[in-house]
Structure 1
């Protein structure tokens, strides 16, 4: 017992590798494209509706079609990244979004604008799948939570940037304002594509291709010591040999059959947890709340565009602050505690938003306290989302699948994410008209209560485990209380 304690005392504390951080940042910057679109479109859709005279149904289609087409990007990117590599899939994502942004910025009519959002959606879907997966495969176990949550940090930063751009451009003529809001996203996508080319390839992908020497070079750069690099190389090459049978040229063959037609009990549990988490992430309505926040507050009695977009900026600041806080403490407190805290907080916040909206819709003179309650509840909702579901969904989806099916399993889970996001975004206003905004928020509150129960039952702790160790985590069904014991043992 004393010897073990002595060993722990002499072992140096793991430290973050600067090159790994740089690569994770470069990969995760692609996610700023989705965030910017969400933020910019929340304001642009109001201006487009006014400029083009489109109906609320067309407004919903315009907002949601990007999420629907990102489903195809997510599904395709799994197989693509097994074939051409993680790095070039990120380049493809950035280039595709660039084409979509140019089409949106120059769109002469509704239909060209719609096509632009479809093209941009494919790029968004690719980026959402590949950025956390690349980062997870590059990162050491002890810092994987922080680094793999960076895509959500950049999504949130992109949303805030979109809000600020909306606020700054709100005074421009209608036909010019929304085109600049959407078209400006083309500039960073070019920079991202060139920046990513300078990044190394994923060492796990290299090992599956039989390029062990190249994988070792990458690991030496991304580990805190040569000993750590050697240990990680042994784990990776052992796992890769099991995947390829020693042939060393894996292209993702047969993975869809293993996932969908004949999954083992362990793989089935992985699918349930990953797909369930992605489902509840979007069924919570967070994207729709962000997209349609101006419509919600217009119904609350705020009609000035500067004021509407100003509330968005406040919401964006709150969202950005809490996602940074979550990312910094994800590897200390673990996935489960922050996830449960976030989903419980969202349930309470959505209930408060429903109560505030209910009083506002029943009052001719809008009471100030109800408006303040709605503003505070929206900020709390997106903040709790940023603590839990926002970053942890990307972390979890990219880390729990075994090496052979990681890319395609992650792409399947995230395609569900994008499908649900599209459905919610394209029906939010229509359903709200039928049952009112208050009714909609109460429904979302109920969904999050169910989601919290799902997370408590199905989501195991993955903190501090290597990707290779995680392959055994789902091999046996957890017994009652085992999650709690795992958490206590990991602290």
Structure 2
């Protein structure tokens, strides 16, 4: 995208980048859950979100730095600099161990056992995890060969049928929770607050481009910090209390933000307290979202 010569070139690059990001945000937490030990699984599975938001923060900071360049160069550096961590990630992936579940499904029990031995807290845990995976794959527990023949199963047709056509009460309950969570995750308006925070700050009365960029950096910083806080609290407090506090805080912050913007919109003079309240509520909204909805 940094080398784009026209709008179509830029959109093609954005489309390809979107596909890569889409794969990554799904695969990373699943892979982490499959290789991590039970004692730290909740902590480690939150790390993809931590690093996503760390990357967003770095993007905000780099955008602020590159905004000092001439316009015809600044936006190219803003987009092109993202290729550096992508190349580093591609190299690191080459030396990462394969998922033990995938290895078992391919009949490579020896390789799966070695990965589990390296990623478990104890030999006993590694054996228990391997036994669970073998049971799910339909491999007898007394089979200890390094390579075995595994019966190839369907590509999930039965799963879709169970989910949507003939779900059991428990599956229906889980499905409702999952769909509801993801719906309200998007309906919470966090994307509007984060992506359009410069517009919100401008509406609040911050007209300087430099000040708007700095305020946007603050949004990224708060989001990253509170995701880290949530990551350390997940296994101690639990997801439900964090989620409930997140929802309550977001309701309060959005309502207060709307109130402050309305006051500013109907005022004929600059209200410093209202501007400060808008900034505080944007940051509070991002913070509350990060401790519950995000990890």
**Global fold match (TM > 0.5):** yes
**Alignment pair present for 1:283 and 2:187:** yes
Match of 1:176 among 53, 67, 73: 73
Specify the alignment match of 1:310 in structure 2. 214
Match of 1:272 among 176, 180, 187: 176
CA contact (8 A) 1:138 1:203 kept: yes
CA contact (8 A) 1:210 1:249 kept: no
Q: Aligned pair in 2 of structure 1 residues 234, 142: CA closer, same or farther (>3 Å)?
A: same
Specify the alignment match of 2:143 in structure 1. none
Match of 1:215 among 93, 96, 112: 112
CA contact (8 A) 2:257 2:281 kept: yes
Q: Aligned pair in 2 of structure 1 residues 122, 342: CA closer, same or farther (>3 Å)?
A: same
Q: How many pairs does the alignment contain?
A: 285
Q: How far did 1:148 drift? A: 0.5
Specify the alignment match of 1:252 in structure 2. 155
Specify the alignment match of 1:65 in structure 2. none
Deviations 1:113-146 (Å, cap 9, x if unpaired)?
A: 2222222111111111111111111122221111
Specify the alignment match of 1:233 in structure 2. 130
Specify the alignment match of 1:386 in structure 2. 290
Specify the alignment match of 2:167 in structure 1. 263
**Alignment pair present for 1:159 and 2:67:** no
| Equivalent-residue separation in structure 1 for 2:102 and 2:248 (angstroms) | 37
Match of 2:100 among 203, 208, 212: 203
| Equivalent-residue separation in structure 2 for 1:156 and 1:120 (angstroms) | 17
**Alignment pair present for 1:112 and 2:9:** yes
Deviations 1:5-53 (Å, cap 9, x if unpaired)?
A: xxxxxxxxxxxxxxxxxxxxxxxxxxxxxxxxxxxxxxxxxxxxxxxxx
Specify the alignment match of 1:300 in structure 2. 204
Specify the alignment match of 2:145 in structure 1. none
| Equivalent-residue separation in structure 2 for 1:115 and 1:280 (angstroms) | 30
Specify the alignment match of 2:226 in structure 1. 322
Q: How far did 1:107 drift? A: 2.0
| Equivalent-residue separation in structure 1 for 2:16 and 2:35 (angstroms) | 29
RMSD: 1.7
Structure 1 stretch displaced more, 260-269 or 190-199: 260-269
CA contact (8 A) 2:37 2:121 kept: no
Q: Which runs of 5+ in 2 are unaligned?
A: 140-148
Q: How far did 1:269 drift? A: 2.4
Specify the alignment match of 2:142 in structure 1. none
CA contact (8 A) 2:120 2:126 kept: yes
Aligned to 1:390, the other structure's residue is in SS state coil
Question: 1:66-145 maps to which residues of 2 (within 5 A)?
Answer: 104-145=1-42
CA contact (8 A) 1:209 1:250 kept: no
**Alignment pair present for 1:224 and 2:121:** yes
| Equivalent-residue separation in structure 1 for 2:243 and 2:137 (angstroms) | 31
Q: How far did 1:247 drift? A: 3.2
TM-score by length of 2: 0.91
Specify the alignment match of 2:277 in structure 1. 373
Specify the alignment match of 2:82 in structure 1. 185
Q: How far did 1:250 drift? A: 4.6
| Equivalent-residue separation in structure 1 for 2:84 and 2:210 (angstroms) | 25
Aligned to 2:294, the other structure's residue is in SS state helix
